[in-house]
Amino acid sequence: MEKKKLAVIALSGGMDSCVTAAIANQDYNLALLHINYGQKTENRELTAFHDIAEFYNAEKKMVIEFTHFQKIGGSSLTDKNIEISKADLENKEIPTSYVPFRNANILSACVSWAEVIDAEAIFIGAVYEDSSGYPDCRPDFFSAFEQVINLGTKPQTQIKIETPIIYMKKSEIIQKGLELNAPFSLTWSCYQNEEEACGVCDSCALRLRAFQELGLEDPIPYKTRPNYAKKQQEQ
């Protein structure tokens, strides 16, 4: 059997990155990278990361501490003085959960690791259209970053960025995950709580709505499960 190539996967432990790992797992051996950046649900996300890594029997895994996002602040995810806002899925403004330029920081660390371990691709579970409107989730951002990789690494280094779910709706991501047997029960998406998902932050709302649209039950525990799909139909 031909030895599979190696890819670095940015794995937060959320649903999107888990499905992204499931997709990468079809063609690559996995080098899973998790970043603690002082987000409020850091411990729960880290548990999800290790559980998913075990599920996929990852070839390599690495956990990194980014201390600067908490020092820098400017986001409800990292600054305890900024409240996690309740979801407003119709709002087109950049939400308070935007962590400034987070994906560039994450990708940069992925590239550093990928260059040393000879990985050929970096997978990141960014979602553009059906997402919270973070500027660093735009497809153009990733194309431009790929150009930066070409210019800023050794001539022999060839690393592409793969964003396999960027154009998917959340419900399509779930369908893709089901098709690939992704372990949704091990994932964690909530921005606010660590024991039961809050059910009302942006991240919970997007996830719950998608499961509801498909007529499925999200297998993780929630404190409350508002019916987001119904609310939308009523409008």
Q: Residue 6, exposed/middle/buried by CB under 10 A (0-12, 13-18, 19+)?
A: middle
Nearer Cβ to a copy of itself (114/205): 114
Residue 138 or 231: the one with the smaller Cβ distance to a copy of itself is 138
CB–CB of 76/83 below 8 Å?
A: yes
Residue nearer to a copy of itself on the CB measure, 153 or 171? 153
Could you say whether residue 81 binds a copy of itself (CB under 8 A)? no
Residues 172 and 23 sit within 8 Å (Cβ to Cβ): no
Among 109, 124, 165, 220, binds a copy of itself (CB under 8 A): 109
Decide whether 1 or 116 has the Cβ nearer to a copy of itself.
Answer: 116
User: Minimal CA–CA distance to 162: which of 16, 23, 13?
Assistant: 23
Closest distance of CB 91 from a copy of itself, Å: 15
> From the list 102, 170, 207, 209, which residue makes contact with a copy of itself (rule: CB under 8 A)?
102
d(Cα 56, Cα 149) in Å, to the nearest integer? 27
C-alpha 48/C-alpha 187 separation (Å) is 5
**80 near a copy of itself, rule: CB under 8 A:** no
Binds a copy of itself (CB under 8 A): choice among 67, 185, 227, 232? 67
**What b/e sequence results for 26-41 when a residue is b if at least 16 CB atoms lie within 10 Å of its CB, and e otherwise?**
eebbbbbbbbbbbbbb
| Binding piece for a copy of itself, criterion CB under 8 A, among 49-57, 96-104, 167-175, 210-218 | 96-104
* Residue 62 engages a copy of itself in binding (rule: CB under 8 A): yes
Residue 115 in contact with a copy of itself, rule: CB under 8 A: yes
Closer to a copy of itself by Cβ: residue 68 or 86: 68
Tokens at 183, concatenated: 């372990």
Contacts of 10 (CB under 8 A, 6+ apart): 17, 33, 35, 106, 107, 110, 122, 123, 124, 125
Residue with tokens 């154009």: 167
Per the listing, tokens 């499925």 go with 216
Of 15-23, 50-58, 99-107, 191-199, the window that binds a copy of itself (rule: CB under 8 A) is 99-107
Does residue 222 interact with a copy of itself by CB under 8 A?
A: no
Q: Which stretches of the chain bind a copy of itself, using CB under 8 A?
A: 62, 64-65, 67-69, 71-74, 94, 98-105, 107-109, 111-113, 115-116, 135-136, 138, 140-141, 144-145, 147-149, 151-155
